[in-house]
Structure 1
Amino acid sequence: MLIDPPELPASLRDGHVVVGNFDGVHRGHAAVIREAAAPAHAAGRPVVALTFEPHPRTFFRPEQPLFRLTGRDEKARMLARAGADETVVLTFNEALAAIEAEAFVADVLARRLAAHTAVVGWDFHFGRNRAGSPAFLAEAGPRHGMFVEVVPPFGGPTPVSSSAIRDRLDAGDLQGANRLLGRRWIIEGEVVHGDKRGRELGYPTANIVLPPETRLAHGVYAVRALVGDRIVDGAASFGRRPQFDDGAPRFETFLLDFSGDLYGLRLRIELVAYLRPELKFDSVEALVVQMERDVLDARAAIAAPEDPLAPSALV
């Protein structure tokens, strides 16, 4: 991953540059990458994914935080998995927001990235006031020595979109979200100290605080976590812990058949199945009985055949 490079190294110049926000790197994004990768690699050219951080919507509307499906590092991993040879991240700031569409084509795509071909999705807009459309790029690119490809919508009458995936995660439709992604959704975060209540109940958890704008349905999930170079199955709860404190939402993962100190480590966790909503029980004892069932349900969900429309992408 290259961040704000003044220009690209020789090995990445004269390539196919795919431009987008790519939040989630879903099936539609992957289709755009594939559209660039096949002819580029056949001609011995690199594929460079150009994206922006923070997300432009976050820059323009900071008072309305965006539920991000992928952070910067995870986005770069998934772009590489989709076929990009390198990801270039441009900082989206006042200067980039103010750049005219023509200058973006000339100064960013043609000069800094030395693009042979620029590839965008059918709905991508760029430049000041979003004046740069795919049609504008198709006209301006050749004037600056570039070929241009515009990839049509993916997914039929209702194109796959990041917003549709967010809505499904919010509704507890994890299978639907994962199928739009084309893989299992992955969260990433540092393990922090909690109240140790899970340990007292016999289910010690690795706690991760997700961004407050995360619109994941509160409940219990079957998950798999990458711990170092080892994948460990688990059962996770996301929510406010109504049995105890109704505090800020927290993602708590009980790793099955695992022992070890995880504090301070960054974990990548993929969500396999949504098991049940968050509930308040008549007693702590009843909660523990349900937690035992949750572990059994998580083991069964993880052992089930992998959904071919949403495979694991943890490694």
Structure 2
Amino acid sequence: MTATVSFTIDSPLGPRTTTAAYERKGAGEPLLLLHGIGHHLQAWRPVTDVLAAEYDVIAVDLPGFGASEPLPHGVPYDLGTIAPAIGALCTALGTERPHVAGNSLGGLLALEMGRVGLARSVTALSPAGFWSEGERRYAFTALRAMRAGAGALPHSAVERLARSAAGRTALTGSIYARPGRRSPDSVVAETVALREATGFEQTLAAGGSVRFTADVPGLPVTIAWGSRDRLLLRRQGVRAKHTIPGARLVRLPGCGHVPMNDDPALVARVILDTTKLAR
């Protein structure tokens, strides 16, 4: 069941309060799950039960996405604001320095949390920030096209398309290697989430200059990339490994940009293998 929590952000404008949605399950050491741009916490549901057998799993909607409030007016959606904000969210939930797993934007945020000491291990699935300028432009163009398509379709048309495997491929084939495996209800929900994401444009604008160029020493880090990622090409994983020499670089065969649905068992195993290295 989704709940909400309010917390205070230290921003360039001074302290500001916002509210985020989250789901929590399991017991043990905390494990925080961060989704990608335009998505929502439900992206993690294919792996949550497996992870919750060993950890206190917290999946959150990032500010301006899913059911979370947008950031207060004037607060930037940049890396230096969002990563500490997630740390403040963890504190509000009674959790300090969790294991963090993230996908795409969430993977970039997970790495930043590791860099600044807010994570005890990091698993980054196709993280943003290791692109060339041409690759970034390609990805941003694709993301804007996906959002425009989601916004142009009437809700009834989305529901109709989601009933067939071909329709689910049309709606979500850019991010999944096996979109036909998604349930119709899930595809409808994530199409709506993309269309209604209030933080989408601000996040893209802030991401235009983002390059992750720092090492993340002193904790286990895994970079994992889907072999069929069509949004952030897998050669970016090699750049990530050069940037973070101590990281494991793992290939996810047959997986797309959002691999949790394409191969839940493999993704869960990669995350669990990483967390156990911190013990």
Same fold (TM over 0.5): no
Counting strand residues as a fraction of each chain, which structure ranks higher? 1
TM-score, normalised via structure 2 length: 0.35
Larger radius of gyration: 1
Counting helix residues as a fraction of each chain, which structure ranks higher? 2
Greater relative contact order (Cα < 8 A, sep 6+): 2
